[in-house]
Amino acid sequence: MTQYLDFEKPLAVIEGKAEELRMLARSNEGMNVADEAAALDAKAKTLLDNLYKNLTPWRKCQVARHPERPHCGAYIDRLFTDFTPLAGDRNFADDLAVMGGLARFNGQPVMVIGHEKGSDTKSRIERNFGMSRPEGYRKAVRLLNLAGRFKLPVITLVDTPGAYPGKGAEERGQSEAIARSTEACLQIQVPLISIIIGEGGSGGAVAFASADRVAMLEHSIYSVITPEGCASILWKDAEKMREAAEAMRLTAQDLKKLGVIDQIIPEPRGGAHRGPETAIDAVGQTIADMLEELRNEDGATLVKQRRQKFLDMGSKGLTA
Amino acid sequence: MNWIANYVRPRINSIFSRRDTPENLWQKCDDCGTMLFHRELSDNLNVCTSCGHHMQISPRKRFEALFDGGVFAEIKVPQPVVDPLHFRDQKKYPERMRAAQRATGEKDSMLIATGEMGRTPIVAAAQDFSFMGGSMGMYVGNAIVAAAQEAVKLKRPLILFSASGGARMQEGILSLMQMPRTTVAVQMLKEAGLPYIVVLTHPTTGGVTASYAMLGDVQIAEPNALICFAGPRVIEQTIREKLPEGFQRAEYLLDHGMLDRVIDRNSLRDELITITRILLGLPPAVRGDLPPPTPGPAAVAGDATAKPDDDKSAMAKTSEKSAE
């Protein structure tokens, strides 16, 4: 049973009615509701299409954060084989908000790293809702460098509300850890592909997404701060998140126009959580295409082009 | 209401309010509350003469104290697209920019310059917290990239003074993209074998701390500077407990191994000279208030490795505003 978002209420009503009808038919034999139920289903389908055709930025945020949206682990399970998780930052701890390890993608050896939010209460707490502490970034740095040494292309899956704002995280150098992770991304001499599958939250996302190619799922978001955070700072009212989401231009469609990302990956009707396998396969296809594009580049050229891409950002394709 | 009230009176007032003396001859220390005479405070680089509290200092004033004889040549920063997102919160972004420009007399929140410090040629960058909280947008990114390129071109170290609330939200994702951009700038310096020294000043937070401000070869901070990724208020809201005394302050970071040194603003210049000269393999510096370098062989006599040609560009221009 899908959890409905607040703007999906009309849909919940219709789908609920259809479900009710079917229940009724099951308990009263001889009652024919197939036509009516089918009509309701059709209505629900059109409504879903219309709702998702023009999602406002704030609604996109809600979809991107949907608890049932496929997370990093689901992608790794379906797209990679021989996944061998590697743990720890060799300094302090293993941060479960970041998962990563050796794997094969279509048979090719790669390194995969991503934020994992967890899928039930227990795993969400364990994964700290995908909010990494410094150890998560330091683990990533370690894996990035390992990949660089053994010429393994790196795929990062970004899905984090942001870096964790906690006491210990600050004491252990959250900002330095993020900076080093970004630095490692911009240094490794192997192809680096980043897919934003849910929330691309601020520095925590950049630390993984300073890549050769960056793609975003259709209803994912990528921003400098959460809309709530932006609203509370600039509007002095966190409830103004809708306005903030609008102003910040955080949707995949806007970011493509701004030249920040390279590609938008379509999601199934009603968002990735209504068809996880379709969404994951679409991401897999994009990764395969991008790896193919970068296959023949040598390491030094990749780094040079990657850096140039970020240096050029903001100077090209913007309208004054 | 009428002609006299709307037109004549403001004019008359403006004539009478023009004074040669600064409006506030006395400034109150933010920390201990002592009233400080402006000249005395300014001579002490905005450090309270009573309690040693470090108050904000503008990049221009900092450079005047840093460079020999207060002479430096500003490096031009490529102008980015203004208001790329057409951002509007309660005010339009360009309005906020104009207000900040009027208040500070600067284009944006970073000033970059080249010159000599204890006869050591350097490139310096300083962030201006009074300009929209020193926030990092495309201009700041451009400034850091330009400073790094200039440093590589002239083979000089880069010394950067950070002061920022973080990314400039009005530039949205493009401000976030300054994190990788400025990181690339730092990598240019590292690959050219040039020292990159960061002086973290109050406050340095958010995306700035999480990029160029934490990637220095040597990390220095001014006393009691707030240095963090997430601010104390955000953390208190998240963990719902009181934070320890001095949390996220320079000395606390030093204790936790996040900094090399915490140095008083008045000793900073000497320390920076010592550090850069050692890293560059130059002989020990001549101490004291050095006059501005004069073009010609005399100026570079004490400096075995500097090329005279390189130095001339640094002496081309004198700072327009004087210390007083």
Decide if B181 and A310 are in contact by the 8 Å CB cutoff: yes
> What are the tokens at A72?
């990093």
**Tally of structural domains, chain A:** 2
Per residue in A58-76, pLDDT (tens digit) is: 999 999 999 999 999 999 9
pLDDT of residue B321: 39
Nearest by CB to B90, from A225, A235, A313: name it: A235
Distance from CA of A320 to the nearest CA of B (A): 6
pLDDT of res. B46 = 94
Give me the pLDDT at residue A36, please: 82
Q: Please check whether residue A320 lies inside any domain of the structure.
A: no
Per-residue pLDDT averaged across A206-218, rounded?
A: 96
A207, A287: one domain: yes
Is A1 among the domain residues? Answer: no
Residues A34 and A66 in one domain: no
Lowest mean pLDDT among A32-41, A74-83, A301-310, B19-28: B19-28
Of A54, A70, A93, the position where a domain reaches its end is A54
Final residue belonging to a domain, choices A21, A36, A54: A54
Residue A31 placed within a domain: yes
The full DSSP string for B41-77 is HHHTTTB-TTT--B----HHHHHHHHSGGG-EEEPPP
Task: Specify whether A74 is located in the same domain as A180.
Answer: yes
Per-10-residue mean pLDDT for chain B, 324 residues long?
Answer: 68 60 78 90 93 94 95 95 88 93 95 95 97 95 97 97 95 95 97 97 96 97 96 85 90 96 96 96 81 59 42 41 37
Neighboring chain B residues of A187 at a CB cutoff of 8 Å: 187
Burial class of residue A87 in the structure, from the number of CB atoms within 10 Å of its CB (0-12 exposed, 13-18 middle, 19+ buried): middle
A165-189 pLDDT, tens digit per residue, is 999 999 999 999 999 999 999 999 9
Chain A neighbours among B 132-171 (CB < 8 Å)? 138, 141, 145, 167, 169-171
Query: What was the pLDDT predicted at B22?
Result: 56
Q: Are A28 and A129 contained in the same domain?
A: no
Q: What CATH number has the domain bearing residue A286?
A: 3.90.226.10
Contact A311 B181 (CB under 8 A): yes
Q: In this predicted complex, what is the ipTM?
A: 0.93
Q: What pairs with residue B112 in β-bridges?
A: B125
Residues A202 and A227 in one domain: yes
Claim to verify: residue A221 and residue A275 sit in the same structural domain = yes
Shared domain for A48 and A84, answered yes or no, is: no
Q: Residue A27: what pLDDT?
A: 80
Residues A256, A119 within the same domain: yes
- Across chain A, what does the average pLDDT equal? 93
Does residue B147 contact residue B125 with C-beta atoms inside 8 Å?
Answer: yes
Task: Tell me if A206 is assigned to some domain.
Answer: yes
Q: Does A300 contact B at CB distance below 8 Å?
A: no
Domain end residue (candidates: A54, A75, A92): A54
Query: pLDDT confidence of A316, banded at 50, 70, 90?
Result: low
- Residue A242 located in a structural domain: yes
Q: What pLDDT, in 10s, does the model give residues A121-175?
A: 999 999 999 999 999 999 999 999 999 999 999 999 999 999 999 999 999 999 9
Q: Looking at the partner chain, which of B141, B175, B256 has a beta carbon nearest the beta carbon of A171?
A: B256
Q: Is B48 marked as a binding-site residue?
A: yes
Chain A residues within an 8 Å CB radius of B173: 222-224, 248-250, 255, 258, 260
Say yes or no: A200 and A263 in one domain.
Answer: yes
Could you say which residues from 242 to 271 on chain B have a Cβ atom under 8 Å away from some Cβ of chain A?
243, 247-248, 256-258
Residue pLDDT, tens place only, A105-117: 999 999 999 999 9
Both A98 and A150 in a single domain? Answer: yes
**Both A81 and A195 in a single domain?**
yes
Of A178, A223, A247, the CB nearest to B229: A178
Percent of chain A with pLDDT over 90: 78
Regarding whether A167 and A38 lie in a shared domain, the answer is no
- Are A165 and B85 inside 8 Å of each other by CB? no
Domain that holds residue A149: 61-312
- Searching chain B, which residue's CA lies closest to the CA of residue A186? B184
- Please report the pLDDT score of residue B304 as a whole number: 41
> How is residue B172 written in tokens?
């949205």
Residue A76 domain-assigned? Answer: yes
Whether A160 is in a domain gets the answer yes
Asked whether residue A317 is assigned to any structural domain, the reply reads: no
